[in-house]
C-alpha cells in the first residue's frame, strides 16, 4: 500500500522529535559526565591523589605544653623552654643504620648515643618517631633541616622541655621530670598514648609526680604527607592539644631561698608553717641539687657525686627524715602528764643529775643536776630527770596518744615523695615489731624523745603549730590548681586543757627569753616578734659508764657521723602566733648552739618578708649578724639585689 504524502510528513515529524529527545538526553549525560570528570580530575585532584596514596599520610601526636608551677606570690618555679629536637621513624627511614650514620656527620652524637637510638628504634613500633637528639643549638638543628632530602624518615621538630629557673631551691619539693620508663608503664593499666612517645617526660618525684595528670594535659594531633623517602612534604591539618593545668604552691620563693642559703653546707632540714592556714611557707632540705641535670640527662660523674655524698643531697630530709626528736618532745610528755593527772603545773621534781631504775642510771644532760624544778622550769632548762619521773608516772600509752594528737606518728597527705610517718611507739608496737614486752626504761627514754620515738621536721613544725594554737593544724602545699584556689583545711580544736597549753607555752617562752633558758643566746629582743621555742639534742651513739666516769667526749672531738643531731622548734610572735618553725641539723651537736640560731633567723625572715631590722637581735650580735647575712648567696629571679632590704 502506497503511503500518502501526509503520512510521510507525520512519520518524519515523529522521528525528528524522538531524535531530538534522545540527542538532548545524550547531550545532558555527556555534559554531566564531563562536568563530573572535571570535578574529580581537577577540583578534587589533590584529595583523591592523597586517598590513592594513603600510606603516605601519617598521624602524629602533638605533646601538650606541661602546666606551669608558681610560688604563692606568682613567681615561676617550674616552666617550659623551647627545645629543638631530631626524630627518626623506622618505617620511613628504610636503612636506619645508614641514616643514623649520616646524622652523626651533622650532629655531635657519640657512639653510645647512636647505639642507644638503634636499640630504641628496634624495640619500638616502626611507625613511632624516635628522638635521636634534643636540646640542639639552632646551628645543628638548621643543618639537619637543610639536609632533609638526604635523610629519609628524619624530622626536625620544635617542642617544649621542662626547666627549673631557680635550680636547687625547689628540687625536693617539686621533684623533676624524666623520660617514661618501662617501669612507669608497668604501673599503669591504661596508659595515655602520650606515654608511648620515646623520651616523653613525666613527673618522677615530688609535686611533678603526684600531680602528673593535672600537669600533663591532653595530646593534640597533626596529619602530614610524606613522600616515598619519608620526607615530610606538608602538614595537612593540625589539632592542638589541651595544655596542662597551672599549679600554685603555698611556698614563698624568697623565704625558701633564704632558708636554703642559711642552712649552708650543713646536712639539715627546715620547715616553716603558717599556723592559721597550715600553708607550708618553706620546706628545705640541705644540701640540695639542680633538678635540671635530671631533665637533660644527668652524667655518670654528676650522679655519683650526688649518691656518694655523705650529706645525702638527693634525700628530702624535711619530710622523709625521721629523727629522735630529743628534748623537743618534752612538751608532749608534759601535756600527757598533766592531761592524765600524773602531775600538776606547780609540782616539782628534784634533779641530782640522774635517776635510778633498778641497777641502771638515766642521766641528765647537766651532770650536777638542776635541783628542784617545776614544769615550766624543766622546759626552760631542759631537765631530763624531771621528764624521766613524769614519764614513768604517766605511762607510754598516754604519752604515745598525746604524740599522735600533736602530729607525731601521723603521715600527712601532701604531694611530696616518701613522706615519713615517724613513730609514736607503745606497748603493742614493740610487741608486734620485736616480739618483746615494753620496759619501764623504754618509757623513760621516750619521755625525753629518745629510744624508739621518731619525728620528721614536718611533724615537729606541725606539733609546734598545734601547741601554739590549740587546734589540729594540717599542713598543705597546694594553693590552687588550674586557677581554682583550694580552701585551707579545717582545723578543729584539739580539745586540750587551755591551762595545760598555757603552761607549756610559758615554758617554751622561757627557753628563748629567760637568762636560764637553753636558747637565750638566740633570743629576739623586739617585743612584737618574740618567739617561744624548745631546743633538742638527740644522741646517735651510746655513752658508756666508763666514758661518763672520765667525762663525755665533746661533739667537736668526734667524727662527724657520730655527733649528736641538733634540733629546735618554735612559734612566733608569742602573743599572736603566725608561724611555726622546725630545724634539724644532722650531727650538728647541740640544739642550743647550732639549730636555735638558724631557727631564730628563719623566724625573723618569715615575719618580716625579708631581712628584719638589726634591732630585732641582741646588740652584741648585730655586727656579726649583718656580716653573715650579707655573705649569704641569695637568689632573686627578678634582679640581682635579691629583693631583700638590708636594713
Q: Is 230 left (phi over 0), alpha (psi -120 to 50) or beta?
A: left
- E strand residue ranges, 303-365: 349-351, 354-357, 360-363
For residue 101, give the H/E element and its range. helix 96-106
At residue 201, what are phi and psi to the nearest 5 degrees? -105, 140
289: cell is 641539687
C-alpha to C-alpha distances, 637 to 70, 169, 320, 383, nearest whole angstrom: 12, 11, 28, 46
At residue 533, what are phi and psi to the nearest 5 degrees? -155, -175
CB 602 within 8 A of CB 533: no
Q: What is the DSSP letter of 170?
A: G
Hey, CA dihedral for 585, 586, 590, 594, is it positive or negative? negative
Query: How far, in Å, CA of 585 to CA of 566, rounded?
Result: 5
Q: Is 273 exposed, middle or buried (0-12, 13-18, 19+ CB in 10 A)?
A: buried
CB 65 within 8 A of CB 244: yes
Kindly report the three-state secondary structure assignment for every residue of 265-301.
CCCEEEEEEECCCCEEEEEEEECCCCCHHHHHCCCHH
Only one residue has cell 666508763, namely 546
Query: How far, in Å, CA of 211 to CA of 415, rounded?
Result: 7
1: cell is 500500500
Query: At 446, is the secondary structure helix, strand, or coil?
Result: helix
- Angle at 560 (CA atoms; ends 556, 562), nearest 5 degrees: 90
Only one residue has cell 602546666, namely 67
Q: How many helices (H) and strands (E) does the chain have?
A: 24, 21
End-to-end, the C-alpha distance of the chain in Å comes to: 135
Kind of pairing, strands 76-88 and 130-133?
Answer: antiparallel
Query: How far, in Å, CA of 615 to CA of 259, rounded?
Result: 21
Query: How far, in Å, CA of 383 to CA of 385, rounded?
Result: 6
H-only helix segments in 449-556: 457-469, 498-513, 545-550
Only one residue has cell 623565704, namely 255
For residue 623, give the H/E element and its range. helix 622-630
Query: How far, in Å, CA of 385 to CA of 351, rounded?
Result: 6
Q: Which of 154, 148, 174 lies closest to 163, judged by CA?
A: 174
115: cell is 647505639
| Residues with catalytic function | 327
- Angle at 634 (CA atoms; ends 633, 637), nearest 5 degrees: 135
Amino acid at each position: 500500500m502506497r503511503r500518502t504524502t501526509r503520512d510521510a510528513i507525520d512519520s518524519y515529524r515523529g522521528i525528528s522529535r524522538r531524535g531530538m529527545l534522545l540527542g538532548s538526553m545524550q547531550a545532558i549525560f555527556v555534559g554531566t559526565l564531563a562536568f563530573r570528570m572535571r570535578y574529580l580530575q581537577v577540583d578534587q585532584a589533590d584529595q583523591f591523589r592523597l586517598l590513592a596514596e594513603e600510606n603516605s599520610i601519617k598521624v602524629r601526636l602533638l605533646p601538650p605544653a606541661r602546666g606551669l608551677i608558681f610560688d604563692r606570690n606568682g613567681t615561676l618555679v617550674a616552666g617550659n623552654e623551647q627545645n629543638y629536637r631530631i626524630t627518626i621513624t623506622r618505617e620511613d627511614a628504610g636503612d636506619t643504620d645508614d641514616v643514623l650514620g649520616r646524622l652523626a656527620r651533622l650532629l655531635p652524637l657519640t657512639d653510645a648515643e647512636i647505639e642507644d637510638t638503634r636499640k630504641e628504634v628496634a624495640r619500638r613500633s616502626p611507625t613511632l618517631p624516635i628522638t635521636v637528639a634534643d636540646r640542639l643549638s639552632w646551628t645543628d638543628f638548621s643543618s639537619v633541616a637543610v639536609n632533609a632530602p638526604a635523610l629519609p624518615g628524619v624530622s626536625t621538630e620544635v617542642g617544649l622541655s621542662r626547666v627549673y629557673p631557680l635550680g636547687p631551691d625547689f628540687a625536693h619539693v617539686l621533684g623533676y621530670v624524666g623520660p617514661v620508663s618501662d617501669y612507669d608503664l608497668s604501673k599503669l593499666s591504661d596508659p595515655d598514648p602520650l606515654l608511648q612517645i620515646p623520651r616523653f617526660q613525666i613527673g618522677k618525684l615530688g609535686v611533678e609526680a603526684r600531680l602528673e595528670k593535672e600537669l600533663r594535659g591532653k595530646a593534640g594531633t597533626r596529619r602530614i604527607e610524606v613522600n616515598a623517602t619519608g620526607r615530610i612534604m606538608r602538614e595537612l591539618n593540625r589539632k592542638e592539644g589541651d595544655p596542662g593545668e597551672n599549679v600554685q604552691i603555698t611556698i614563698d620563693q624568697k623565704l625558701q631561698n633564704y632558708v636554703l642559703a642559711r642552712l649552708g653546707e650543713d646536712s639539715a632540714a627546715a620547715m616553716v608553717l603558717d599556723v592559721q592556714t597550715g600553708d607550708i611557707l618553706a620546706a628545705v632540705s640541705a644540701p640540695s641539687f639542680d633538678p635540671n641535670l635530671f631533665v637533660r640527662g644527668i652524667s655518670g660523674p654528676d650522679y655519683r657525686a650526688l649518691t656518694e655524698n655523705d650529706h645525702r643531697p638527693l634525700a628530702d630530709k624535711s619530710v622523709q627524715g625521721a629523727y629522735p626528736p630529743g628534748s623537743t618532745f618534752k612538751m608532749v610528755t608534759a601535756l600527757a602528764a598533766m592531761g592524765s593527772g600524773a602531775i600538776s603545773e606547780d609540782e616539782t621534781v628534784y634533779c641530782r643529775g640522774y635517776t635510778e631504775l633498778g641497777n641502771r642510771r638515766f642521766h641528765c644532760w647537766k651532770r650536777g643536776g638542776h635541783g628542784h624544778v617545776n614544769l615550766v622550769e624543766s622546759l626552760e632548762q631542759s631537765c631530763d630527770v624531771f621528764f624521766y619521773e613524769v614519764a614513768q608516772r604517766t605511762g607510754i600509752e598516754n604519752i604515745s596518744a598525746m604524740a599522735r594528737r600533736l602530729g607525731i606518728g601521723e603521715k600527712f597527705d601532701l604531694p611530696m615523695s616518701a613522706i615519713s610517718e615517724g613513730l609514736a611507739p607503745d606497748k603493742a608496737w614493740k610487741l608486734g615489731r620485736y616480739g618483746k614486752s615494753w620496759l619501764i626504761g623504754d618509757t623513760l627514754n621516750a619521755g625525753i624523745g629518745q629510744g624508739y620515738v621518731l619525728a620528721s621536721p614536718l611533724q615537729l613544725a606541725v606539733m609546734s603549730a598545734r601547741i601554739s594554737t590549740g587546734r589540729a593544724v594540717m599542713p598543705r602545699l597546694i594553693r590552687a590548681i588550674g586557677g581554682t584556689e583550694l580552701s585551707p583545711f579545717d582545723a578543729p580544736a584539739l580539745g586540750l586543757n587551755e591551762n595545760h597549753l598555757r603552761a607549756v607555752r610559758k615554758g617554751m617562752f622561757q627557753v628563748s627569753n629567760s637568762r636560764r633558758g637553753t636558747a637565750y643566746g638566740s633570743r629576739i629582743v623586739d617585743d612584737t616578734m618574740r618567739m617561744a621555742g624548745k631546743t633538742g639534742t638527740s644522741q646517735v651513739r651510746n655513752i658508756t659508764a666508763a666514758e661518763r666516769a672520765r667525762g663525755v667526749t665533746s661533739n667537736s672531738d668526734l667524727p662527724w657521723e657520730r655527733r649528736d643531731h641538733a634540733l629546735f622548734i618554735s612559734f612566733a610572735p608569742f602573743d599572736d602566733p603566725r608561724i611555726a618553725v622546725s630545724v634539724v641539723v644532722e650531727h650538728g651537736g647541740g640544739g642550743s648552739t647550732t639549730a636555735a640560731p638558724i631557727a631564730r633567723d628563719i623566724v625573723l625572715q618569715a615575719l618580716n618578708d625579708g631581712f628584719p631590722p638589726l634591732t630585732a637581735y641582741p646588740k652584741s650580735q648585730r655586727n656579726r649578724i649583718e656580716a653573715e647575712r650579707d655573705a649569704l648567696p641569695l637568689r632573686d629571679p627578678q634582679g640581682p639585689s635579691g629583693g631583700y632590704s638590708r636594713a
